[in-house]
Amino acid sequence: MNKLLLHPAAKPLLLALALLPFAQLLWGAVANTLGANPAEALIRGTGDWVLRFLCITLAVTPLREAFGLTGLARMRRMLGNVAFFYGVLHFLCYAWLDMGLDVPAIVADIPKRPFILVGTLALLLMVPLSATSFNRAIKALGAARWKRLHQAVYATALLGLLHFFWMRAGKNDFGEWAVYAVVMAVLLGWRLRRRLQRHSGVRLTS
């Protein structure tokens, strides 16, 4: 498996697969096959893929350590950028299809609706992560500072989850939200457990 992950074609192939949902949504919009409310389908579809790729990105390190898949590490930044790509699409769909690209109306709407405010904050947090997702940024910032900056992905994931919760609260439908919540709880809980183990190990050996 590591040989496959380290193959030069693995990254472009994974990127192509990650962009398939975008292609399907785009085709659905062009072919008018998104149902009775295409705007809602596009806004909802892009939002779903933000959460999914955030979960996939957060799963890279646990999977790498659990199964020795060191080749997964080279995919993590790309997957994070894909999540950001879908986040930008999600916001653009809201701004265009819901608000008609009326900038003053968008600026006034964001603080009035908590779920949109939280979603916008999550997207803004992703901007510096995407902007520093290349090797030169790591060298410029230093590995330790870069790593601290990119820990903001945890806050992004939680804000995204809260955004989805508040959005579903209006319909009192939390089934799908609960799935994302469990997945993120496992992924973040794994990290917390590992950090506590490391701190306890340091105390025992000091």
Alpha carbons 61 and 112: distance in angstroms, whole number: 37
User: What residues does each domain of the chain span?
Assistant: 2-205
Alpha carbons 158 and 162: distance in angstroms, whole number: 6
**Is the pLDDT at 205 greater than 80, yes or no?**
no
In this prediction, residues 7-13 reach a mean pLDDT of: 92
Helix (H, G, I), strand (E, B) or coil at 106: helix
Nearest to 44 by CA among 17, 25, 19: 25
Q: pLDDT tens digits for 156-189? A: 999 999 999 998 887 788 899 999 999 999 999 9
- Burial class, 114, CB count within 10 angstroms (exposed 0-12 / middle 13-18 / buried 19+): middle
Q: pLDDT tens digits for 41-90? A: 999 999 999 999 999 999 999 999 988 888 898 999 999 999 999 999 99
Q: pLDDT tens digits for 120-132? A: 999 999 999 999 9
Q: What is the pLDDT of residue 204?
A: 46
Q: What is the pLDDT of residue 206?
A: 42
Alpha carbons 204 and 201: distance in angstroms, whole number: 5
Lowest mean pLDDT among 25-34, 98-107, 196-205: 196-205
Nearest to 24 by CA among 3, 51, 48, 56: 48
Over the Cα atoms of the chain, what is R_g? 19
Q: What is the pLDDT of residue 6?
A: 84
**Is the pLDDT at 24 greater than 60, yes or no?**
yes
Q: What is the pLDDT of residue 202?
A: 56
Alpha carbons 116 and 114: distance in angstroms, whole number: 5
- Burial class, 191, CB count within 10 angstroms (exposed 0-12 / middle 13-18 / buried 19+): middle
Distance of CA 202 to the CA centre of its chain: 32
Q: What is the pLDDT of residue 203?
A: 54
Helix (H, G, I), strand (E, B) or coil at 166: helix
In this prediction, residues 107-136 reach a mean pLDDT of: 95
Alpha carbons 134 and 194: distance in angstroms, whole number: 26
Q: What percent of the chain has pLDDT over 70?
A: 97
Q: Write down the residue that tokens 């973040």 correspond to.
A: 188
